[in-house]
Chain A
């Protein structure tokens, strides 16, 4: 099966700093990747669609300037949480599209202190 690797699996940062999360498709090329956010005991909420070589498409209510997405290659998308605040603490999960399925990374637990 296809493998998607997400790094880091957990990170603790100070309020006001930026954090970068990487999502890599290890054995296939993904022109489209997705970033989700999951609050404790809740479902996944789509944040944005990342397309290789073009600007990401953000869902309504998601701040583009706070959650910077870059998809510079067919195997790597990054999510940067800028000027992080405690309310940004959450579980972030990426997925890479290989039709007809989407394959998920392991997730990143972000804690902002």
Chain B
């Protein structure tokens, strides 16, 4: 089955601390993977994507993610959290069959406190 699992519905970090948001996928073939950020009452903004090229992917706003096939993971990290990073983060995979039908994880709400 094609699925995306995000461990931890809520993550809280201090400003300046490491951010780690976890994402695991279920698939026999490594899919395209994405991380999106959503601010309240807004659409989704793409942070970064994995499309079978480099396994370490750098995105916007200092975020990066590493694709690990052996662990079927695509965790999102940022070395130093900023208050503006507080938002909802979604990991997604492209569904099999083409187009760009995305399957989303449940989301992780990141809180950043002073």
Contact = CB atoms under 8 A, between A and B. Distances in A.
A32 interface: yes
Contact of B102 (A4, A34, A41, A42): A34
Given A32-B99, A43-B104, A101 B49 contact: yes
B12 interface: no
Interface stretch (B15-23, B40-48, B64-72, B76-84): B40-48
Interface stretch (A12-20, A62-70, A76-84, A91-99): A91-99
B63 interface: no
Contacts of A91: 41
Interface size on A, as a range, is 20 to 34
A52 B6 CA distance: 33
Contacts of B42: 106-107
A98 B49 CA distance: 13
Given A100-B51, A101-B49, A43 B106 contact: yes
B41 A100 contact: no
Contact of B100 (A44, A93, A101, A106): A101
Contacts of B44: 44, 93, 95, 104
A106 B32 contact: no
Contact of B49 (A42, A97, A100, A109): A100
Interface size on B, as a range, is 20 to 34
A102 interface: yes
A4 B104 CA distance: 19
A46 interface: yes
Contacts of A25: none
Contact of A43 (B32, B34, B41, B90): B90
Interface of A: 4, 6, 32, 34, 41-44, 46, 49, 91, 93, 95, 97-107, 109
23 contacts: A4-B43, A6-B43, A32-B99, A32-B100, A41-B109, A42-B106, A43-B90, A43-B106, A43-B107, A44-B44, A44-B90, A46-B101, A46-B103, A49-B99, A49-B101, A93-B43, A95-B102, A99-B100, A100-B51, A102-B102, A106-B42, A106-B43, A107-B43
